[in-house]
Amino acid sequence: MNIVVEHSENNLCPFIISISKVLNAIGHKIIFWNQNHKSIYEMLEELKPDIIIVNNSLKPNYWEIIKNKKYIFYGNHDPINKAIAKITKTNLIDLISYPYTFENHIFNTDILFSSNYYQKERDLSRLMDKVFEKTDLRIKYCGHSHIQSPYFAGFLETEEFTKIALCSKIVITTDEIEKISLLNRKIYAILSNELDIEEIDEICKNEKIRKSKLKEERKKIIDNTNSIEYVANLLENIGLISDKERSLSLIGNLS
């Protein structure tokens, strides 16, 4: 079987390494395809894949073509991916949830104030001044709009903002929809007018505990998901491996 794995990033994720090792060991042909170097039309014509393995970095216009083929989808288990899976009607497997998170520790922040929807007429600087006086937490403003404050760390694109928000304990926003969007990504977000300064230390403390627990859980899931045995089970479930025992003996020397 020709199996094409879409991978446009520099480093291969452990899940893809495991799945490729298993498939290779049981005699399938694995080919990596970079969507930025070669279009999907060229790839389909040249490689004639039986199965395509894709993740959420696939270009949106390619989903229309992919959904008519046999494919495996792996990616972040977040609402956006669920929506993609729903739209594209996965025909081989509903969804392989591969949980990975981006954490950039250099941006670790206690309170991140989003300036994405900040309007100058709403004078929030007084509120934030109180927060600065009250606590000695790490605080910064980031986002699309400039806020006249030394705590404004710089402009950010939406995607980068989410990455930094993931490393923050609380995100304060002025926009209801942004708050909902952040909460969906399991980021503690609060509207500026809902902020209770008296409770801010307590919230940060609780968030720290919650995040460390979440990190441990994720690590366990990722370790399990990346194991060769997990991948072999998965492939057996979707019919790519017919005889699990035989396959496992073949790949026994891999790990």
Partner 1 sequence: MKKLGFLMHQMLPNQKTNALSINLNEMVQKYPDIDPILFFNDIGMCNIKNEFAVMQTIEALDYDGILIATDEISVNMFKACMRAKEKYFYVWDINWFYNPRPISNIKSLYLNDDVKLIARSKSHFDIISRVFKKPEYIIQDFNVDEIKSIIYDR
Site residues, partner 1 (CB under 8 A)? 106-107, 132, 136-140, 142, 146, 149-156, 160, 164
SS3 74: strand
SS3 30: strand
* Phi, psi for residue 54 in degrees, rounded to 5: -130, 160
* Phi, psi for residue 48 in degrees, rounded to 5: 40, 65
Question: What is the rounded distance in angstroms from the CA atom of residue 98 to the CA atom of residue 130?
Answer: 42
CB 247 within 8 Å of CB 26: yes
Question: What is the rounded distance in angstroms from the CA atom of residue 64 to the CA atom of residue 215?
Answer: 35
Q: Which of residues 54 and 153 has its CB atom nearest to partner 1 in the complex?
A: 153
Q: Which of residues 153 and 251 has its CB atom nearest to partner 1 in the complex?
A: 153
Q: Which of residues 138 and 244 has its CB atom nearest to partner 1 in the complex?
A: 138
CB 200 within 8 Å of CB 93: no
- The neighbouring-strand residues paired with 2 are 29
SS3 100: coil
Distances from the Cα of 67 to the Cα of 9, 61, 86, 116, 136, angstroms: 22, 11, 11, 35, 51
CB of 188 to partner 1, least distance (A): 19
Select from 161, 163, 139 the least CA-distant residue to 152. Answer: 139
CB of 149 to partner 1, least distance (A): 7
Q: Which of residues 141 and 188 has its CB atom nearest to partner 1 in the complex?
A: 141
Q: Which of residues 140 and 179 has its CB atom nearest to partner 1 in the complex?
A: 140
CB of 216 to partner 1, least distance (A): 25
CB of 195 to partner 1, least distance (A): 17
Q: Which of residues 32 and 155 has its CB atom nearest to partner 1 in the complex?
A: 155
Q: Which of residues 112 and 195 has its CB atom nearest to partner 1 in the complex?
A: 112
CB of 184 to partner 1, least distance (A): 23
Distances from the Cα of 184 to the Cα of 48, 66, 179, 187, 206, angstroms: 38, 27, 9, 7, 18
CB of 141 to partner 1, least distance (A): 9
Terminal Cα-to-Cα distance of the chain (whole angstroms): 23
CB of 173 to partner 1, least distance (A): 17
